[in-house]
Structure 1
C-alpha cells in the first residue's frame, strides 16, 4: 500500500506473535512492546539526514557522519503510545517528547482530547507519532491535526498493528504522513477493534479492563 511500510524483520514478527498470545502476562506484554518500539524506531529513522563532522579517534583525526538538524520529537498518544517511548528513547536519548492525551468515546468511537504538551518549535523537527493500534484512526488523525496546528510539518506515524480501514482514514486525512507498522490485519469488528489483533493494547499493557 502506498505510504505504508510493513516492518517484516523476523525479530519484530516473532515478538509480535508473542504479544498476540492471550496468555501473555502484563509484564511480558509491556516488555515486548518496549522492545518492538526500539526495532520500529530503527526502521522509521533509517533515512535521517547526516553530515560529516571532524572528530579525533585514538589513532588520527577523521570526518565521520552524525545526524544533521534539530533533534527528533517523539509524540506518543496517551496512554498506550507510551509503551513505545522507552525503547525509542534508548535509541535516541536526546529526542524531545510531546504528549498527546486522547481517549476513544465508547459510543461514537471519536477521539476526545484531554491533554497536549509539545515543544514550541515543531516546525523545525521531525515528529514521530506513536500508538500501538491504528484501528479507526480517529485518534491518529486528531493527534496529527493537533500537531499540525502547533506547526509540525514533517510527521511520521508508527504503530504495532493497523487495520485497512484505519490506514485509509489516516491516508485520506493526511496523505503526506507515512505509516510504519509491524502488520496489517484483516478488519475492524463492530466495536472498532482490530481482528485478529491482540485486544486492547492499553489494557494489556497496564493490566486494566
Structure 2
C-alpha cells in the first residue's frame, strides 16, 4: 500500500486539522463538518494526480483545445455516518462518480473495552474494473476498513482501491497495509502515534460522527 501523508508538509491543511482538534471550535458542528469537507477536497485533488488521463478535444465558441481529462470509473464509498462530510468534499471534485454507502459501527461488548465492528447496510453499484474510493475520516484500529472491504467483495473486483481518511493511528495504518492489495493508495491528512484502550486515536479529535451530527444513544 502506498501511503500519502499530507500532514508531513506545511500547507493550509494544517489549519483545518487544528480546528478539527480544538475542543472549543468543535462546539460548532457546522464548522466541524465544513472543515472535514474541505479536507476531503484537498485529499481528492491530490488523489486526482494518480488517475488515468486521456486527451479529449473541447470545442469553445472561438476554436478547440485538446485537454487531458481523467478516465477512471470512480465509485465513492462513504462509511456512515461519520464519512458523510468527507464524502461530500471528495464528491465536490468528482461529481460524475458513482456512489456507495455502507454502515459500520463499533459494538462494545458488555460496555467494556473490547468491541467488534458491525456492518448492517450496504448500497453499491458494481465495482468490477472500477476505481473504488473508500471514505472514512478516522482510521483508528483499521477494523472498520477491513469489514467494509470484506462486505463489498460481493459487488465485484475493483481495478484499484484508494482510501481517504482525515486522521489515522500508526497501528491502524500498519494493520490496513496487511488487509488491502499492494496497489492500494491511502490518502490521509495526518497520522497520530497512539490508540487508547478503547481504540480511539490519541490525541485525535474525539468521535467524528458525534461531533458532526450529535451524540447517539
Normalised TM-score (structure 2): 0.89
* Inter-partner Cα distance in structure 1 for 2:72 and 2:196: 43
* Inter-partner Cα distance in structure 2 for 1:15 and 1:48: 25
Tell me how many residue pairs correspond in the alignment: 206
CA deviations over 1:18-76 (Å, ceiling 9, x no partner): 11000122111111111111111111221111111222223323322222243x11101
How many Å apart are 1:175 and its aligned residue? Answer: 4.1
CA deviations over 1:168-204 (Å, ceiling 9, x no partner): 1111111422211111101100010000100011111
Helix, strand or coil: the match of 2:37? helix
Moved over 3 A (4+): none
* Residue of structure 1 equivalent to 2:3: 4
* Inter-partner Cα distance in structure 1 for 2:72 and 2:181: 24
Unaligned runs of 5+ in 1: none
* Residue of structure 2 equivalent to 1:98: 100
* Inter-partner Cα distance in structure 2 for 1:171 and 1:193: 19
Q: Please report the RMSD computed on the Cα atoms of aligned residues, expressed in angstroms.
A: 1.5
Helix, strand or coil: the match of 1:173? coil
* Inter-partner Cα distance in structure 1 for 2:64 and 2:35: 41
* Inter-partner Cα distance in structure 2 for 1:200 and 1:69: 33
Relative distance call for 1:44 and 1:29 in structure 2 (3 A) is same
Q: 2:36 aligns with which of 33, 37, 44?
A: 33
Unaligned runs of 5+ in 2: none
Helix, strand or coil: the match of 2:128? helix
In the TM superposition, what are the counterparts of 1:1-209 in structure 2 within 5 Å?
Answer: 3-8=2-7, 10-24=11-25, 25-70=28-73, 72-107=74-109, 108-120=114-126, 122-153=127-158, 154-176=160-182, 177-208=184-215
How many Å apart are 1:150 and its aligned residue? Answer: 1.7
* Inter-partner Cα distance in structure 2 for 1:179 and 1:126: 13
